[in-house]
A and B are shown apart, each in its own frame.
Chain A
Amino acid sequence: MMEKIILGRYLPADSVIHRMDPRAKLMFIFGFVLIVFLANNVATYALLGAFTLFVVFLSKVKPQFLIAGLKPVIILILFTFFLHVFFTKEGELLAEIGFFTIYKGGVIKGIFISLRFFLLILVTSLLTLTTPPISVTDGIEALFGPLKKIKVPVHELALMMSISLRFIPTLLDETDKIMKAQMARGADFASGPILERVKAVIPLLIPLFVSAFKRAEELAVAMEARGYKGGEGRTKYRILAWKSRDTVSLVLLAVLAAALLVLRS
């Protein structure tokens, strides 16, 4: 169970992408998500695709991990593809199968939209594969820091995120234990109609919630005992360092955006 559900499947390695500042990576991803929508013809998609492959190459992440990350969304990608193939009625008619008609414009649009999805997911999963979750949290806290001025509890939100990340494996372990305990008492989680199976989850969730609340209370006491009194006057153990490669990455992204603007039709 533990192996199947791994959030933020970070793969430790040493690459330029791994060493990038999480703030730069987050800004890069945000920019990339925006400029993907600039592409609208073969040249622009080719350029985007080549750029993405280059980034993947730099990250030294093995392709099978990226493919594994794509698995859950492949259905969605195929669905959008066929949606366009069957319902966009542009260009010349390619085929007519009974009720369905397929136009050339539909196929092209289907390919483009799927490709767009594909690139977006590839790049965002690259973020989680090359950045430890705690660094992502640090990056978010730093990037949203200015919002503190308008009373957004940025520090608290970041702490909440990092504590949730820390407790995911603990709670998964616990779920496993409770499940086994209930199975030992004759509970059946794996068979029966859907409704029965949903009902079977209740005796799993209630003890889990009870213990999560108990943990939360104890953790709060332990944090207070260690002198936690909010973000005020607090120093940070992890210091983010913005290097020239981070600037370069954002410049590259800007160049890409400019090229797309020129090439798009």
Chain B
Amino acid sequence: MGDSIISIERVSFQYPDQSDFALKDVSLHVQRGEWLAIVGHNGSGKSTLAKMLNGLHYPQAGHVTIGGLELCEENVWTIRVKLGMVFQNPDNQFVGTTVQDDVAFGLENSGVEQTVMKERVLTSLEKVGMASFLNQEPHHLSGGQKQRVAIASVIALQPDIILLDEATSMLDPLGRDEVMETIRELKEREGLTVISITHDLEEAAKADRVIVLNKGSVYTEGTPQAIFQMDQELLQLGLGVPFTVKMSHLLAEAGLQLSKRHFNEEELVKELWTLNFEK
């Protein structure tokens, strides 16, 4: 694979005292600069995969290479700087007593100089639109704002890859949009590689490529468009197809001439209200 930033080759992992493999012979590649969504229902192995990419688990068989470095105990701290991770619970990843302290935490860990730190804290908070919250305490922030601070603390370390491990699953719809929008902007501006691990297909719809995991192995992969075509199959895997996709599917069945299966609500609405203009 030409420019793959992460390659996972035939990786297996089994938790102690569990008979089934959490990951079984998984191989996949992530291209530099792409947005990859890894979807799967609970127990599909997606969280194990996320933890493995950050060196919180090591593969029992196979190899994981991140940014040209083999994942092993020696390289793990370098890899953690290259790959930043945003976790599910907005509260349980907020280490500092204020927004700026939290963003500084990762920088302090890697021994960045104080003057450089000040600058980086400010610029990364600006990038996520939280610069006016410098001295706020976490309990005065909404879930979406806390996740944006978490993103700022990740990008302060100037990583190549940002990994979202169910980062929006505890947020309300507004917070979810706010976080996804931040990620989209950052990806465009900074050329980041984004991996989002999720069970929310609406979030997966924003990706360039989707990989579906089931029972510890790769079930299928493709563009969101292609994945959403197989809605019955997805349902069997415990994944709900987004409402907009379902809607356009049903509208097409009812005889409406839609140009494509939409997974963006706005696009669908636009097509619907302009549909009769062309007649």
User: Which residues of A are interface residues toward B (Cβ below 8 A)?
Assistant: 133-134, 162-163, 165-166, 169-170, 173, 214-215, 218-219, 221-229, 233-239
- Contact across chains for A134 and B92 when beta carbons are under 8 A apart: no
A162, A173, A214, A227: the one contacting B97 at CB < 8 Å is A162
- Contact across chains for B87 and A218 when beta carbons are under 8 A apart: yes
Q: Enumerate chain B residues within 8 angstroms of A162, measured Cβ to Cβ.
A: 96-97
The answer to whether the Cβ of B271 comes within 8 Å of any Cβ in the partner chain is no
24 contacts between A and B (CB under 8 A): A134-B97, A166-B96, A169-B138, A215-B92, A218-B92, A221-B51, A222-B85, A222-B95, A223-B95, A224-B56, A225-B56, A225-B80, A225-B84, A226-B84, A226-B95, A226-B105, A227-B81, A227-B109, A234-B108, A234-B111, A235-B114, A237-B100, A237-B105, A237-B121
With A218-B87, A226-B80, A226-B105 as contacts: A235 and B95 at CB distance below 8 Å: no
- CB under 8 Å from chain A, chain B span 87-129: 87, 89, 91-98, 100-101, 104-114, 117-118, 121
With A221-B56, A237-B100 as contacts: A166 and B157 at CB distance below 8 Å: no
- Contact across chains for A229 and B94 when beta carbons are under 8 A apart: no
B89, B93, B110, B113: the one contacting A227 at CB < 8 Å is B110
The answer to whether the Cβ of B168 comes within 8 Å of any Cβ in the partner chain is no
With A222-B87, A237-B101 as contacts: A229 and B109 at CB distance below 8 Å: yes
Q: Give CA–CA (A237, B101) in the complex, Å.
A: 7
Q: Give CA–CA (A162, B80) in the complex, Å.
A: 24
- Contact across chains for A166 and B109 when beta carbons are under 8 A apart: no
* Nearest chain B residue, comparing its CB with the CB of A133: B97
- Chain B contributes a number of interface residues (CB within 8 A of A) equal to 40
The answer to whether the Cβ of B153 comes within 8 Å of any Cβ in the partner chain is yes
The answer to whether the Cβ of B219 comes within 8 Å of any Cβ in the partner chain is no
* Nearest chain A residue, comparing its CB with the CB of B56: A221
- Contact across chains for B101 and A218 when beta carbons are under 8 A apart: no
With A227-B106, A227-B157, A229-B77 as contacts: A235 and B138 at CB distance below 8 Å: no
With A165-B97, A173-B139, A222-B93 as contacts: A237 and B117 at CB distance below 8 Å: yes
The answer to whether the Cβ of B54 comes within 8 Å of any Cβ in the partner chain is yes
* Nearest chain B residue, comparing its CB with the CB of A168: B139
Additional pairs, 16, CB under 8 Å, beyond known A133-B97, A166-B94, A227-B157: A162-B96, A166-B137, A170-B91, A218-B89, A222-B93, A225-B54, A226-B80, A226-B95, A226-B105, A227-B77, A227-B109, A233-B111, A235-B108, A235-B112, A237-B104, A237-B108
Q: Enumerate chain A residues within 8 angstroms of B107, measured Cβ to Cβ.
A: 235, 237
Q: Enumerate chain B residues within 8 angstroms of A225, measured Cβ to Cβ.
A: 54, 56, 80, 84-85, 87
